[in-house]
Structure 1
Amino acid sequence: MLATIRHTPPQPPEAPTLVIAHGLYGSARNWGVIARRLADRREVVAVDMRNHGDSPRFPVQGYPEMAADLAEVIESLGAPVDLMGHSMGGKAAMQLALTRPELIRRLVVADIAPVAYSHDQSQHARAMASVDLSTIKTRAEAEAALSAGVDDPALRAFFLQSLDLRQHPPRWKLNLPVLEAEMPKIVGWPGTEGQFPRPALFLTGAQSQYVRPEQRETIRALFPKARFAKIPGAGHWLHAEQPRAFEETVRVFLEA
């Protein structure tokens, strides 16, 4: 089963458990601040997706498989739960909602649509894999080495959250060869049919291009109770760029 980080409320839970599925190259740890804040009156369980963090390694990274992983976690917690996913995690959450809707009470999809994208993220897997970890002892050394393949300091900082410097030599807590090989599936969409009959929030960054107005018809066909909201001043990493606004918007939707 997927590795999880559980955040327990100070008092007995008053609301359904919230499960959080991170995006590509991320981990449950990335969601610590938001998860802790949302755990004031409910249990929040952040997962490491397959081939990420402390979760098992598999040779495939398709959305049916990722949805099955989430279903296993949810069934162990007691369904139905509220489910939130960002980017790759959002697609896995949508896949589960369309195929096992009885497991989910409310769905939050952060900055992704149920469509195939043309962009390719495999260059980042290659950049991380190219770092000679045998020479790395500190985070600063790792960042300097990674800068050869990743120009954006914010992206480097995000990727380095998945570098385990406690190991000697350090190791990436990502199955980089599989993630690179399976990239067509990750940026794609399996064309899943069906409908999720309960409320779904599609929350996007106002500066992001991942969810376009012309995609709303596709979204509504699969999620007829879809609602749409934008976070001002945020791009694709909306939960990291505007965490308080993100948290408050999610809270209002889940508690409506």
Structure 2
Amino acid sequence: MHVRGLPQHLLIWGDLARISAEEPLLVMVHGWMDVAASFQFMVDELRQQPGWADRPIAALDWRGFGRTPAPLGTDAYFFPDYLGDLDAVVHALSPDHPIDLLGHSMGGNVVTMYAGVRPHKIRRLVNLEGFGMPATTSDEAPDRYTRWLDELRTPMQLKSYDSLEGVAGRLQANNPRIRTEHAMWLAQHWAREEGGRWVINADPAHKRVNPLLYRVEEVTALWARITCPVLFIEGLQTQYFALFNGRYTRDEFLVRAEAIAKLRIESLDDAGHMLHHDQPEALAGLLADHLALPSDVSVAPPQSPGA
């Protein structure tokens, strides 16, 4: 399908003609430097859950990732474009019925913002480790814009590999918990052969800094408008917050999350940031339970560590 002038690549499981109030569409969006096919292992397990054998599911490749091309001349990417692309896909696939929506990492941040913009379109929301980013202040803007302008003048490149096994090895280096057979399968979707080398299916421009500051007050204002039940799932062994060297913590996330009225937080053991690769079976069970909730069920508030 075409979305905002781009040929949008989608993976579809099941029959979209089955979409109804009783069988809402589940739409899934991936994280940064990932692809829609990344959800395949989780979908395989979800199909084993009662009521999920034929339910329609769709996953998209964000612009400039996987098999969705970058717009001609793109040299930077912005969150409003992700929201615009998602909105177009949702309205095209399920114009008459609310959907269930799931996002991982960057995609988790996008879907949680989107649920605050279009609350009437979302029946259930699932956020997989979309914790957000450290708070910024306006005095950071000059240096951020300077860095962005400098990077626009700097060619960006992604490493290529001499074999599909090399790509799978990269996936396993990033996440030692991913099973070898899963890494080999995903490698052929994560990269393509080009001139005797295997090249990552991602626009190198994604590596450039975003010049726009992350404004917590804007994000939480959107979260406060969410009306559907929200399930947030994290890996107990995630290293996400270690990336920020104390500038952003899980406790800060929990404070922000108080803006979401109907939030439940669950954790998966033996799982890191890529929990849909690490524990697809356990994750599928949590999803099936949450997405089967009746509309009027109240959701427990988020729990602090060790609670």
So what's the TM-score if we normalise by structure 2? 0.67
CA contact (8 A) 2:31 2:103 kept: yes
1:51-76 per-position Cα deviation (integer Å, ceiling 9, x unaligned): 10111304342222111111110000
Counterparts of 2:100 and 2:175 in 1: how far apart (Å)? 33
Q: 2:287 aligns with which of 243, 250, 253?
A: 250
Q: Which residue of 2 aligns with 1:51?
A: 64
Alignment of 1:58-207 (within 5 A): 58=71, 59=74, 60-78=76-94, 79-116=97-134, 129-131=158-160, 136=162, 138-140=163-165, 152=174, 154=176, 157=183, 161-165=189-193, 167-169=194-196, 170-176=198-204, 178-182=205-209, 188=214, 191-192=218-219, 193-194=221-222, 195-207=225-237
Match of 1:32 in 2: 40
CA apart distance, 1:233: 1.5
Q: Which amino acid aligns with 2:255?
A: E
Match of residue 121 from structure 1: none
Identical residues among aligned pairs (%): 24
Structure 2 counterpart SS, 1:235: coil
Distance across 2 between alignment mates of 1:45 and 1:163 = 21
Give, in whole Å, the separation in 1 of the partners of 2:67 and 2:34. Answer: 11
User: Does residue 218 in structure 1 map to residue 256 in structure 2?
Assistant: yes
Residues 127 and 248 (structure 1), Cα distance of their counterparts in 2 relative to 1, 3 Å cut: farther
The whole-number CA distance in structure 1 between the counterparts of 2:159 and 2:258 is 42
CA distance in 1, matches of 2:271, 2:69: 32
Moved over 6 A (4+): none
Going from structure 1 to structure 2, the CA distance change for 1:152 and 1:110 (only over 3 Å counts) comes to closer
Q: Aligned residues, how many?
A: 238
Checking the alignment, whether the CA contact within 8 Å between 2:237 and 2:271 is kept in structure 1 is yes
Cα deviations across residues 124-181 of structure 1 (Å, max 9, x unaligned)?
A: xx997243x6xx3x3235568x69xx9547499577742112x4344331001x1111
Over alpha carbons, which structure has the higher Rg?
2
Question: Relative to structure 1, is the Cα distance of residues 61 and 189 closer, same or farther in structure 2, using a 3 angstrom cutoff?
Answer: farther
Q: Tell me, yes or no, if the aligned pair for 1:4 and 1:47 is still in contact at 8 Å.
A: yes
Q: Which amino acid aligns with 1:199?
A: P
Deviations 1:50-109 (A, max 9, x none): 110111304342222111111110000114111000001101111211212222111100
Distance 1:91 1:213 in 2: 17
Report the TM-score, using the length of structure 1 for normalisation: 0.79
* Cα distance in 1 for residues equivalent to 2:166 and 2:115: 42
Instruction: State the Cα RMSD in Å.
Output: 3.3
Q: Is the 8 A contact 1:106 1:254 kept in 2?
A: yes
Alpha-carbon distance in 1 for matches of 2:215, 2:70: 21
